[in-house]
Amino acid sequence: MSDVLEYDVLIIGAGPAGSATARYAAKNGARTLVIEKRQEIGSPVRCGEGVSLSWIEELEIKEYKRWTAAKVKGARLYSPSGHVLEITEKMAGNEVGVVCERDVFDKEMARLAVEEGADYMMKTTAVSLIKEDGKICGVKARSMGKELEIRADLVIGADGFESQVGRWAGIYDAIPPQDIMTCFQYRMAGIDFDPNYTHFYMGSSAPGGYVWVFPKGEGIANVGLGVQLSMLDGKKTPKEYLDEFIASHDQFKDGEPIDMVAGAVAVTHPPETVTTDGLLLVGDASRVVDPMTGGGIVNGMKQGKIAGEFAAKCVSEGRFDKEFLKGYEKEWRDQLGNKLWRNYMAKEKATKLTDDTFDKVIDALSELKLNQVSIGAILEGVKEKYPELIEEFQDML
Amino acid sequence: MKKPKINGDMCMKCGACVGSCPVNAMFLREYIVEVNDDCTGCGLCKKICPVGAVTQEE
């Protein structure tokens, strides 16, 4: 006989989206439990750690210095032959960019949820959903070697890219390979670069993706890349792509790795649904990673807030059916849906660009004084110098 | 059937193969990736592995 726990809301996964959900569910009165399969929240880190601060007021985050490794002034984009486009904070709509310490960040997001009354259990893995009368009403779990039944009116899958919850619930199919980026990163010490900027290298050094250099301080950065799965031929791994990139760049080749990170992200369009009776998904598990950048923290946390508040509403109204959960679907899509679709379509085109096109685009843009970076402004800028490049993007103008 | 074999010394337990498996035959445990009998031997896990830790048995 396994132990039985009972909650209003059970969240699987203690990443930023899971903890944001927990925080707002608990704050609004739901008895909330978060389970995390690892022994430590936020570790091992699986992230490039670059993030804007545009969302912190909305998420009522008062203090960010504790989880910030470096603040940057802007971003530099490099074309394959070395043209550079500098994007300043002002051009990016005054969005301040930082490189965070995800292990500290994730624990801080969990702390904020605990402050509101959420419970946490570590080293606790969901192994299956409990279904009664066609409705999901909890999970079977393993916690420190013990079998456990956790019953909840609403189960929330915040279990990331490799979400089991979403698949168990039959919410979606496998992600197509052209919508998966597979990533590898070193934290490198002893490198020579400008730590006031994030750096992005476009083109065939990372097919269908890009190489990023995100400063963690003077002489130290996360140097990583993402490669589109369908562009890999099985001969060269993402790690080998990165090793090649580093060996061929003087500013990085003498550095030493002090950390290695691997992982994958789904850069896909929003799924048709992320809910079913008694269950909803948030964060990477609901596939809200920005398809252009591969960044998932901001969307995941914004969606988590919506999910948490909605979960509390479910509890107060006693409604956990799919029909009622449409309210959650509407709220998060109203806030994130359009941008996700637009960036998905832009990604579909950007991943097909050749090195030559990247050279021309970045060359043309670097000569302009862009006041604002938007897809429209970029296309207008390129059109002047290379009108032939714009033809297939015409529909996005 | 070419079932994947995961080299535990190289595997970083990152979950890339787990999330991309078309038939959900892979599971990320805390210290190991498991493959169950649903595996069709399609080889996507080998292709996606960021570090080349997956090989396929002939």
User: What ipTM goes with this model?
Assistant: 0.92
Share of chain A above pLDDT 70, in %: 98
Query: Would you give per-residue pLDDT tens digits along chain B (58 residues)?
Result: 788 999 999 999 999 999 999 999 998 876 789 999 999 999 999 999 999 999 997 6
Q: How far apart are CA B12 and CA B20, in angstroms?
A: 16
Which spans in chain A are helix H? Answer: 16-27, 102-115, 165-168, 238-247, 250-253, 297-317, 322-332, 338-350, 355-367, 375-385, 387-390
Pairs of CB atoms within 8 A across A/B: 84
pLDDT in tens, A209-228: 999 999 999 999 999 999 99
CA distance to partner chain B, nearest, from residue A65 (Å): 28
Chain A, 38 to 57: residues with Cβ < 8 Å from chain B are 38-39, 44, 46
Q: How far apart are CA A209 and CA A293, in angstroms?
A: 9
Q: How far apart are CA A220 and CA A99, in angstroms?
A: 12
pLDDT-derived band at A95 (thresholds 50, 70, 90) equals confident
Long-range (24+ apart) CB contacts under 8 A made by A236-239 are A237/A184, A237/B49, A237/B50, A237/B51, A237/B52, A238/A182, A238/A183, A238/A184, A238/A262, A238/B50, A238/B51, A239/A184, A239/B50, A239/B51, A239/B52
> Strand, helix or coil at A237?
coil
CA distances from A42 to A12, A16, A209, A248 (A): 14, 9, 25, 32
- Give the closest of A125, A163, A182 to B50, CB-based: A182
Residue B44 forms contact with A (CB below 8 Å): yes
Residue B48 forms contact with A (CB below 8 Å): yes
pLDDT in tens, A155-172: 999 999 989 999 999 998
CA distance to partner chain A, nearest, from residue B47 (Å): 5
Which spans in B1-58 are helix H? Answer: 16-20, 44-48
Evaluate if pTM is beyond 0.80: yes
Q: What angle do CA A29, A32, A34 make, to 5 degrees?
A: 150
DSSP string over A128-197: EEEEETTEEEEEEEEETTEEEEEEEEEEEE---TT-SHHHHTT---PPPGGGEEEEEEEEEES--S-TTE
CB count in 10 Å sphere of residue A3? 11
CA closest to A225 among chain B residues: B50
Residue A240 forms contact with B (CB below 8 Å): yes
CA distance to partner chain A, nearest, from residue B17 (Å): 8
Q: Do A263 and B20 touch (CB under 8 A)?
A: no
